[in-house]
Structure 1
């Protein structure tokens, strides 16, 4: 594994660990209006990203955005709707009739779908090592989380959450190169905030926003500044370097990170099943990322790096305010 691939792997891993460790904040927002929470989270994240998206000597972000086609803008709107707002809404809906582990298990299958879909969309064959690694990661995620009570509605909504997690990676691939990780993150956050506002007005009217409590405000700031700003930028920087197939393998670290941190706040325990599942996830990530591959072996195709101007730069599931 070369330095660029290693850096990309570490960035993707860090982003997923941040998401997994954020479930304490998610539990605090259980009573806050869903759409309002999403609008605040993504709106604040977009504002925090603004100072980061332009450097002296680089094209202005507005000029870059003006070059996007209508189809690319549609893709960005779809990315925000499916991979962000829709994903979180599906998780919330699933947990109304299913235990949190159920959508977690479905979302744990995302690496398998991404490992198949991305190569097919690019006109090439899926890479066998990545497919095998994705299977190990999915099995490890299932072992960490287990299975819980559910019904047909919970299963269907969990499938929707899986689609959102896959979409968060697959839909972004064609727009990552022209925008770069930072501008892409800022743009989709602004779009997601607008979409959440419209959804809130339709579902709850003027009551979709309320003044958060102190704990809720801290949780929203944590999600916006850490999970969204840092997490999204690191995720897309990693995906830019190692490709969507290998980056999505690291989503298996989300339930592992959640399981490791749950005992610290008294919301769960870490036992033999969690340890075994963590080992499976680690093995799958190591195989898929090339750590265990032969020296000189060809790595799975990664995204081409963005031009220098753009080179600066989910999942699961305890509440609707996840990645």
Structure 2
């Protein structure tokens, strides 16, 4: 892969994970009118309404879908859409924000481990160093520089829910890599979202969302629309495209951009203060992503020489 195309993919992954950071802001607005499972269902239902027409228009030669493929699509919807969102919102309601954020921040580590064990992806020293730098930056942002907070966290039952969110997203990423060997990022995302929406429906119905429709606000609906279009349709397609092109391990490092994005957007839209500690953490994240995803210049020259020699 040439240098220009590689940087284009890195830019797409940065955009994808940045939009995920905006979901924290949109979620705070939407939760004022709807319950968690209903927000998830409406978000992915709206995304599905957009994704299926896009897929039918853009993808003219979709490979034949076998029973095994349908099972994998369903598994993607179950892990990355249904279970992850249910666990995430439960954790948001009952777990400390710091603990929830740390579990999500640890996601790239588990993804990198699984990609090496299950997919036999090559994990380089630069990948590991970059991941640790980026994670350190994310932890700095989450704890606001007070690392002693980590020692005050105690084991609770909600930790199992957080672990469910951690494992489900890692599985979504790793299984997605296998699916992407046959299908495009648009097809994979569309069917994953379709199945995930079906799995979320009973949880939403349990919350009786129709009772909240009358009192719901326009900002809440706009927040859900934002999560459908930008966070899900654009963000998920770009993330899967990145996985398809550079692998799960490298693509997962960009997840550390999410807390940086969330803090910046909270500063812009919610009037929160952007602290010096946050900026230091952001520098660590950017440095980590750069180190973990770039290859040595000598390797680039050797590759180019081999192609022309």
Tell me the TM-score normalised to structure 1 length: 0.82
Q: For 2:299, which of 292, 296, 300 is the aligned residue?
A: 296
Structure (1 or 2) with the greater helix fraction: 2
Are 2:245 and 1:248 equivalent residues in the alignment?
A: no
1:182 pairs with 2:186: yes
Distance 1:165 1:41 in 2: 17
Cα pair 2:47 2:232 within 8 Å, conserved = yes
Query: 1: CA distance between counterparts of 2:271 and 2:218?
Result: 21
2:226 corresponds to which residue? 222
Taking the aligned partners of 1:56 and 1:258, their CA distance within structure 2 comes to 32
* CA drift at 1:186: 1.2
Cα distance in 1 between the residues matched to 2:121 and 2:247? 14
Q: In 2, Cα distance between the equivalents of 1:46 and 1:275?
A: 36
Q: State the partner residue of 2:37.
A: 35
Aligned counterparts of 1:233 and 1:104: Cα–Cα separation in 2: 23
Q: How does 1:266-285 map to 2 (within 5 A)?
A: 266=270, 268-285=272-289
Shift of 1:57: 8.6
Q: Is the 8 A contact 1:45 1:225 kept in 2?
A: yes
Listed as ranges, the gaps of 5+ residues in structure 1 are 300-323
Residues 283 and 213 (structure 1), Cα distance of their counterparts in 2 relative to 1, 3 Å cut: same
Cα distance per residue 1:149-197 (max 9 Å; x no partner): 6650332222222213312311211111322011111111111111111
Q: Are residues 178 and 271 of structure 1, via their aligned partners in 2, closer, same or farther at CA, if it must alter by over 3 Å?
A: same
Q: Is the 8 A contact 1:115 1:134 kept in 2?
A: no
Question: Post-superposition shift, 1:88?
Answer: 1.7
Please list every run of at least 4 consecutive aligned residues from structure 1 whose deviation after the TM superposition is greater than 4 angstroms.
147-151
Contact 1:98 1:150 (C-alpha < 8 Å) held by counterparts:
no
Deviations 1:106-151 (A, max 9, x none): 1111112222211221235532221221111211111111158665
Q: Give the count of matched residue pairs.
A: 290
Partners of 2:254 and 2:7 in 1: CA distance: 13
2:119 match: 122
Provide the alpha-carbon RMSD of the alignment: 2.4
Structure 1 residue 152 corresponds to structure 2 residue 156: yes
**Helix, strand or coil at the partner of 1:255:** helix
Kept in 2, the 8 Å contact 1:141–1:252? The answer is: yes
Structure 2 counterparts to residues 135-214 of structure 1, below 5 A: 135-146=132-143, 152-201=156-205, 203-204=206-207, 207-209=208-210, 210-211=212-213, 212-214=216-218
CA contact (8 A) 1:103 1:161 kept: no
Q: Give 1:71 deviation, angstroms.
A: 2.9
Contact 2:81–2:197 under 8 Å retained in 1: no
The alpha-carbon deviation at position 95 of structure 1 amounts to 2.6
Structure 2 Cα separation of the partners of residues 185 and 39 of structure 1: 16
Tell me the distance in 2 between the aligned counterparts of 1:95 and 1:38.
Answer: 13
Could you tell me how far apart the structure 1 residues matched to 2:217 and 2:245 are? Answer: 40
State the 1:224 CA deviation.
0.5
Residue in structure 2 matched with residue 50 of structure 1 by the alignment: 52
- For the Cα contact (< 8 Å) 1:9–1:242, is it kept in 2? no
Contact conserved, 2:30 with 2:221, CA < 8 A, in 1? no
Deviation at 1:52, TM superposition (A): 2.0
TM-score in terms of structure 2 length: 0.85
Identify the range of structure 1 (131-140 vs 210-219) with the bigger mean alpha-carbon deviation. Answer: 210-219
Gap change, CA 1:151 and 1:269, over 3 Å in 2: farther
User: Partner residue of 1:21?
Assistant: 22
In 2: Cα distance, 1:285 partner to 1:35 partner: 33
Deviation of residue 280 (structure 1)? 1.2
Deviates more, 1:208-217 or 1:274-283: 208-217
